[in-house]
Chains A and B, each alone.
Chain A
Amino acid sequence: MNALAFDHGGYHRGGARARPPFRMTAAPAAADGFADMIGAIAARADRAAFATLFSHFAPRVKSYMLRLGAEPLQAEELAQETLLTVWRKAAAFDRTKAAPSTWIFTIARNLRIDAARRERRGEPVEDPSDEPDAEPGPDAVLAAAQSEGRVRHALLKLPPEQAEVVRLSFFSDKPHAEIAAALHLPLGTVKSRLRLAMGRLRDLLGDLA
């Protein structure tokens, strides 16, 4: 595990969080606002909406890439590509299925996977975001239940040791065994914390199955 990745960018827990002031009162509304902005890009190529989305998400996507161990230049590039993909695929965003942060996370994750593949194999990779995921029939999944605000709230309810492994898990593309080693914990402990955490999140966010 790249130890640096854990220190880089930093994440905040609980009360220690220092968000820009406009987010402190308006998280759910902001998420709705972001969905509207993606809609405005799809409907009328709204550049101002894009600039706002860029200012919010690009620095966070870069932060995410740094935590995954990307070099700063590559992290910047991947953040650029992610937001460019948001612009180009805005019409594919469906606010009834995912929160803006969820959608943008999946774009960033896929671009990172492809970049890693290109590095390893030197092979060109098709743009994964071209391809909407196959979906099983109408699933009643409640983008509402998984709105960013509610998910964030649910994360705050996790015991700290569970929240920690969930964070480390998402901010790493390494096997859980390596995460366990970095935490000096047995693998079984890490896995059971993850299982408990995901179970609790599922309870808190409604029965999504």
Chain B
Amino acid sequence: MTQRHPSEEMILDLARGALERGRALVLRAHLGACTACHAQLRLAEAVGGALVDELAPADLAADALERALAAIDRPPPPPVSRAAPPPGWIRVPADVLEAAERRRRWAAPGVWVAPISRDRRTGARSYLLGIGPGIAVPTHTHKGTELVCVLKGAFEDRGEVYRPGDFAESDESVEHQPRVTRDGDCVCLVAADSALVPRSLTAHLFQPFVRI
């Protein structure tokens, strides 16, 4: 099954800081473009704020305020210079831009990949995938779920078109061959529970190069 918006539970996980890093990046990219999902995050964060505010205050160290007042007198660290988003991209978190700039490599003709995060313990990973106009990703499925947010361009998958800011969550039941539309290249931010599972000969050939 493919969902076009993150579940309420996933948004709650983002708000409470419990979402795996790659998934959080995909959600943030989508939320930057989706008013309805963003409003859900706002609500959940307001709940978090109210809950923290009603916690019984913990005892601080005796010199806590003194330390804080000394800390605010120190000059702040210099601002980090950030990579500018490539033209045509929706706004994304800095980690994503950095990956695009530093870790991008060609994986196959017309296809590039930039790994962003990988959890060695669970195998969860996130990456950017750039695909040229009209190119299809070889048929594959997933172990676990895969979250995608389109950053630029568009792709078509099982009769639906996904455009910048759009979100897709595919589970194991989805066997698909997404195809980039002909009018331009497409960049997607992807978070997957594990490596994709090839379902065709091309996909088997494709995977070792792409390593996703």
Interface of A with B (CB < 8 Å)? 9-12, 17-19, 47, 50-51, 54-55, 58-64, 66-67, 75-76, 79-80, 83-84, 87-88, 97-106, 108-110, 112-113, 117, 126-127, 130-131, 133-137, 139, 141, 146, 148, 151-152, 155, 166-167, 169-176, 191, 194-195, 198, 201-202, 205, 208-209
Question: With A54-B68, A170-B47 known to touch, is A101 a contact of B38 (CB < 8 Å)?
Answer: no
Interface of B with A (CB < 8 Å)? 8-9, 12, 15-18, 21, 28-29, 31-36, 38-40, 42-61, 64-65, 67-69, 71-72, 76-77, 79-80, 82, 90-94
Kindly provide the distance from the CB of A31 to the nearest chain B CB, expressed in whole angstroms. Answer: 9
Cα of A110 to Cα of B28 in the assembled complex, Å: 13
The residues of A that contact B82 with a CB separation of less than 8 Å are 131
Report yes or no: A106 in contact with B58, Cβ–Cβ below 8 A. no
Cα of A136 to Cα of B166 in the assembled complex, Å: 13
Chain A minimum-CB-distance residue to B74: A84
The residues of B that contact A104 with a CB separation of less than 8 Å are 49, 52
Report yes or no: A130 in contact with B79, Cβ–Cβ below 8 A. yes
Interface of A is mostly: helix
Interface of B is mostly: helix
Report yes or no: B21 in contact with A117, Cβ–Cβ below 8 A. yes
The residues of A that contact B42 with a CB separation of less than 8 Å are 97-98, 102, 139, 141, 146, 208
Report yes or no: A76 in contact with B17, Cβ–Cβ below 8 A. no
Report yes or no: A101 in contact with B55, Cβ–Cβ below 8 A. no
Other A-B pairs, 18, CB within 8 Å; known A54-B68, A209-B36: A9-B56, A55-B65, A63-B52, A63-B58, A64-B52, A76-B64, A84-B68, A102-B42, A104-B49, A127-B77, A135-B38, A136-B31, A136-B38, A148-B46, A148-B53, A152-B53, A169-B12, A195-B9
The residues of A that contact B61 with a CB separation of less than 8 Å are 76
3 closest residue pairs by CB, A with B: A134-B32, A59-B57, A102-B49
The residues of A that contact B76 with a CB separation of less than 8 Å are 88
Report yes or no: B45 in contact with A76, Cβ–Cβ below 8 A. no
Cα of A125 to Cα of B37 in the assembled complex, Å: 27
Cα of A151 to Cα of B29 in the assembled complex, Å: 27
Q: Which of A12, A97, A208 has its CB near the most chain B CB atoms (within 10 A)? A: A208
Cα of A191 to Cα of B36 in the assembled complex, Å: 21
Question: With A127-B80, A198-B12, A208-B42 known to touch, is A136 a contact of B32 (CB < 8 Å)?
Answer: yes
Report yes or no: B43 in contact with A208, Cβ–Cβ below 8 A. yes
The answer, among B15, B35, B46, for a CB contact under 8 Å with A151, is: B46
The residues of B that contact A62 with a CB separation of less than 8 Å are 57-58, 60
Kindly provide the distance from the CB of B208 to the nearest chain A CB, expressed in whole angstroms. Answer: 26
The answer, among A58, A100, A133, A205, for a CB contact under 8 Å with B43, is: A205
Question: With A134-B91, A146-B43 known to touch, is A151 a contact of B72 (CB < 8 Å)?
Answer: no
